[in-house]
Structure 1
Amino acid sequence: MSHAACFSHDAKSDLQRNLADFHPCVWGDYFIQYDSESVELDQNISAQIDALKKEVRNMFNISKTEKPSEKINLIDSICRLGVSYHYENEIDEVMQYIHKSYVENGEITLEDNLCTLSVLFRLLRQQGFHVSPNVFNQFKDEQGNFSERLITDVEGMLSLYEASHMMVHGEEILEKALAFTSTHLESIVTQLSPFLAAQVKHSLKQALHRNFHRLEARRYISIYEKDPSHNETLLTLAKLDFNILQCLHRKEFGKICKWWKEIDIPKNLPYVRDRIVEMCFWVLAVYFEPQYSQARKMMIKVITLLSIIDDTYDAYGSIDELELFTKAIERWDISSMDGLPNYMKLIYISVLKVLEEVEEDMTKEGRLYTLKYYIKEFQMVVQAYVTEARWFNNNYVPTVEEYLQISKITCCHSLLTTSSYIGMGETATENIFKWVSNWPKIVDAISTICRLMDEIVTSEFERKRGHVCSLLDCYMKQYGMSREAAIQECKKEIAIAWKVVNSECLRPTKVPMPFLTRALNLARFMDVVYKDEDNYTRSEGLMKSYIKAVLVDPVPI
């Protein structure tokens, strides 16, 4: 019998509860079928993959006669096809070599076309090298604007558009490049071949740097296959690798869905968004690599608790109940549960149970120090949730600054970043946890991106059901601006925050790149899923198609 079954739901009280009209889970028990599946690899396929990996590894050998553009395009394809995690050292070595050979005082000296130089710039920045964007000055006219002659070079413009998303503060040339390429690509898209038009439309909607790995790999495999100059070995490896990871991820989803089913959310906490598959997908965006299987399991449980607690504070709990729950979390002790209403006891027990599991794993690894950082972040989120609940209860509209200070905490990205490090093994030393607990610039920036993207797409829905005022309301009240002007203000702040994220990922970095990548991937998830609407809450559309592409449909071999 699951611990969830111990609690009957509270008798319907006469409290006015603001229930949201969330649609039920769109996946039902679909993924539970994979829980019992074994992910043992067929020996023949395993041998084939090993041989292909070796062949691709040999392609990294640098020969003096080969044009650098060949290596640049190879590495770009390997990254976009989703197999770069097999070749991190090789990619780093080649990029170091290219940097040493073709970059002087931060300036790229390679002479080549716009497409190659744009890809090179993007890859160097991706690898953490702070190279100057001045290499693009040669594509300007006498007036200092990008030359109209570039309009016929669609691939060059598309590559420059993608490169411009790597910008940091003060790079006016990349601001101009982004404006120039966006405008012209939008105006010529109808005149392009269907193949090229599809690529342009996709990039304009979802820039490569802000997409997440599995989605990009799934999409790019089909594009790469149609390219007449594709490398057959690399393509076959990408397809087989994608399908193997898909089997592993499905099994993980199956296990977690089974755990979620035991809690029986629809029966025990009917006001909560039933989004376990979507939460698994969220964590898959943070890390997909096989070695992080255990880390994903841990992080998914944390994110599910947060989603439940978020819905409780947002709408269902009365202010008195929420104050009690906050105190119980501050004490973090099973005896604190006594005064809680039944439905909250279930949540509280689940919080402590997940911590017990984490504690067990961390004891084995000798990394118990992770727990105090996790608990501190968790308590900070709940304290921020109750602040928002008090605002709502008192009809209080805070200033923009006040609102952001609290709501950047309630978007949970600091806690999620911390949680993502728990399962990353001994490389996640205590210094990493100290660093993240001090709210570094990258955490502030991804929290800004998350909060503002969320505000733009959810404020309308939340206002209808009775909810704490939105950031847009705060802007409108404080500055007397229209809703549309407030949205534009948020979009400006999001663009600034992305520059900070990019800047924090350039060498020398404060912590090793794998830790920055988790934070970056959380921002990418927001960019994909919260772009035009809240596809997490309303998960029957785009979100469903993304999950289908990554986890349901294998790549045809």
Structure 2
Amino acid sequence: MIDAIQRLNIDYHFQEEIDAFLERQYVISTTNWDAFGNDLHQIALYFRLFRQQGYYVPADVFDKFTNKEGKFNQNLGGNIKGMIDLYEASQLSVAGEDMLDEAAQFSGLVLKEKMACLDDHEAKFVRKTLEHPFHKSMAMFTAQDFFGDFHGMNGWLGSFKQVAKLDFSLLQRLHQQEIIQVSKWWTELGLANELKLARNQPLKWYIWSLACLTDPTLSEERIELTKPISFIYLIDDIFDVYGTLDELRLFTDVVSRWDITASEQLPDNMKICFKALYDLINEISSKIYQKKGWDPTDSLRNAWKSLCKAFLVEAEWFANGNMPSAEEYLKNGIVSSGVHIVLVHIFFLLGQGLTEENVHTIDGIPSILSSSATILRLWDDMGNAEAFYFYELPSDFEFDVSRDFYGGKFISYAEFPYGAKPDEEAPPRGILTHAPETGEEDVEINVTGDGNAVVSTAV
């Protein structure tokens, strides 16, 4: 039932009940996974639900379904529901979990082979599972597809589907109102007129925010988050098309000093951009302080300083013709992706776990944030020719081979956010919830190379 509710994107209505149920089941399972017997469907489903919830579950719960060589038993192939759930479970793998790599390969191959033998509804669901696993998709964009798939044979699901359809209509109206407010803010800001070569995409920026903060109750937070997201793109364009290298160094210095007086020496377009950013950070910080009792000004300023410094590093690479190693490129790309900016703002806007220790952790870009940022950088670069230059790939390197190289890198980083065991680094819950989403939603936003995929799906 939880799986269906999540796929219908109405789980937020029942979040307390879901949390309580999974907590009870997790306590039971940690002492006795044998309670699930040999039901692959149940074990794989609970494995996925637990890991989605942030609980650590060892991959060896699947040992009972493998032979001495660690291969999954071939007789499992006739269990289509079990294969679907095993494939979905494998998407939450942790780096180094060979068991889940084998699970993904085995179940994926079986499902591809069986599709021709399934009816239309089953085949459609299997195809969607293989192309867009639930954990790496966004329920708000895929819920309508679930209305007619073959998992919906249970009688009680009809009632939930009706709720989901009504909920979808209500959410559409809410999101339309939010888009109106974002567009009004962007128009009144006037930067589209001042920076004519910069991107003018308030709808795309809002979708970024919507993908990060899906809870309908976070309407104000989504609107506020869209604003710094817009400046990630604007400042990126400043570095790409507006400034000479000396001007960009001066701009970075002004941002690092966070000195409005020093901005007078900047070119007009940079001066206008910095003044708007300066005012925005002060405005957001004031709102957070009034609501949460915490002044995030220093943390937000430091995040923007880091972003501009990372942009400058890339600009100097281009200008000087220097070719960084893949590791150097990725290390800088973790910051230049802008993910840290987004998640730092989310952390303070949500106001969960506002303590000195947690703020210090967030300021330092914890591993779960850097993993999300790396996922975005790798996925975005898969459609970006300049990235192949930066990765020091041979001149005769074929595109498909390059894509395989990226694919391997992407998988290794995509696995990491869900690998934290209870005794490992634990960021604040608000970030733990949204950091993995950011990496995943970026995939949807960038899937066509320019962000149109999500916009066309959501509107």
Instruction: Name the TM-score, length of structure 2 as normaliser.
Output: 0.92
CA contact (8 A) 1:421 1:515 kept: yes
- In the alignment, which residue of structure 1 is the partner of 2:263? 337
- In the alignment, which residue of structure 1 is the partner of 2:12? 85
Question: Aligned partners of 1:403 and 1:150: how far apart in 2?
Answer: 43
Q: Structure 2: which amino acid aligns with 1:333?
A: D
Question: Aligned partners of 2:420 and 2:450: how far apart in 1?
Answer: 28
| CA offsets 1:224-261 (integer angstroms, 9 cap, x no match) | 79535343332232222232222222211110012212
- In the alignment, which residue of structure 2 is the partner of 1:76? 3
Distance 1:147 1:410, change over 3 A: same
CA contact (8 A) 2:255 2:308 kept: yes
* Correspondence for 2:391 among 455, 474, 483: 474
CA contact (8 A) 1:122 1:162 kept: yes
Question: Aligned partners of 2:69 and 2:336: how far apart in 1?
Answer: 47
CA contact (8 A) 1:472 1:487 kept: no
SS in 2 for 1:231: helix
- In the alignment, which residue of structure 1 is the partner of 2:240? 314
SS in 2 for 1:233: helix
CA contact (8 A) 2:179 2:203 kept: yes
5+ residue gaps, structure 1, are 1-73, 464-469, 549-557
| CA offsets 1:122-148 (integer angstroms, 9 cap, x no match) | 112222332233333333356542233
Q: Which has the larger radius of gyration?
A: 1
* Correspondence for 1:101 among 28, 39, 49: 28
Give me the CA root mean square deviation: 2.5
1:365-384 alignment, distance < 5 Å: 365=291, 367-384=293-310
Question: Aligned partners of 1:282 and 1:381: how far apart in 2?
Answer: 18
- Mean alpha-carbon deviation: is it higher for 299-308 or for 239-248? 239-248
1:15-94 alignment, distance < 5 Å: 74-94=1-21
Question: Aligned partners of 1:205 and 1:223: how far apart in 2?
Answer: 15
Question: Aligned partners of 1:225 and 1:174: how far apart in 2?
Answer: 24
Question: Aligned partners of 2:426 and 2:222: how far apart in 1?
Answer: 24
Question: Aligned partners of 1:458 and 1:189: how far apart in 2?
Answer: 34
Say whether residues 1:411 and 2:337 are aligned partners.
yes
- In the alignment, which residue of structure 1 is the partner of 2:153? 227
Q: Structure 2: which amino acid aligns with 1:544?
A: V
1:135-284 alignment, distance < 5 Å: 135-141=61-67, 144-223=70-149, 227-264=153-190, 266-284=192-210
Question: Aligned partners of 1:452 and 1:326: how far apart in 2?
Answer: 25
Question: Aligned partners of 1:227 and 1:197: how far apart in 2?
Answer: 15
Q: Structure 2: which amino acid aligns with 1:436?
A: I
SS in 1 for 2:393: helix
* Correspondence for 1:303 among 223, 229, 242: 229
Shift of 1:402: 2.2
* Correspondence for 1:501 among 392, 417, 421: 417
Question: Aligned partners of 2:119 and 2:423: how far apart in 1?
Answer: 40
Say whether residues 1:544 and 2:455 are aligned partners.
yes
Shift of 1:271: 1.7
Q: Structure 2: which amino acid aligns with 1:528?
A: E
| CA offsets 1:417-472 (integer angstroms, 9 cap, x no match) | 1011121136433432211112211112111111111111122xxx4xxxxxx255
Question: Aligned partners of 2:292 and 2:133: how far apart in 1?
Answer: 41
Question: Aligned partners of 1:512 and 1:406: how far apart in 2?
Answer: 24
Shift of 1:195: 1.1
Shift of 1:361: 0.6
| CA offsets 1:328-366 (integer angstroms, 9 cap, x no match) | 212223222212222222212210121132132133135
CA contact (8 A) 1:374 1:418 kept: yes
Distance 1:473 1:327, change over 3 A: closer
Say whether residues 1:488 and 2:404 are aligned partners.
yes
Question: Aligned partners of 1:386 and 1:426: how far apart in 2?
Answer: 33
- Matched residues, number: 459
Say whether residues 1:433 and 2:359 are aligned partners.
yes
SS in 2 for 1:476: coil
Question: Aligned partners of 2:45 and 2:183: how far apart in 1?
Answer: 40
SS in 1 for 2:293: coil
- In the alignment, which residue of structure 2 is the partner of 1:389? 315
- Mean alpha-carbon deviation: is it higher for 443-452 or for 225-234? 225-234
Question: Aligned partners of 1:526 and 1:399: how far apart in 2?
Answer: 24
* Correspondence for 1:517 among 422, 433, 448: 433
Instruction: Name the TM-score, length of structure 1 as normaliser.
Output: 0.76
Question: Aligned partners of 1:225 and 1:157: how far apart in 2?
Answer: 14
Q: Structure 2: which amino acid aligns with 1:384?
A: A
Instruction: Pick 1 or 2: higher relative contact order, CA cutoff 8 A, min separation 6.
Output: 1
Distance 1:354 1:213, change over 3 A: farther
SS in 2 for 1:445: helix
Shift of 1:190: 3.5
Question: Aligned partners of 2:352 and 2:397: how far apart in 1?
Answer: 50
Q: Structure 2: which amino acid aligns with 1:116?
A: Q
Question: Aligned partners of 1:160 and 1:300: how far apart in 2?
Answer: 36
5+ residue gaps, structure 2, are none
CA contact (8 A) 1:224 1:235 kept: no
Question: Aligned partners of 2:441 and 2:353: how far apart in 1?
Answer: 24
Distance 1:225 1:251, change over 3 A: farther
Shift of 1:367: 3.5
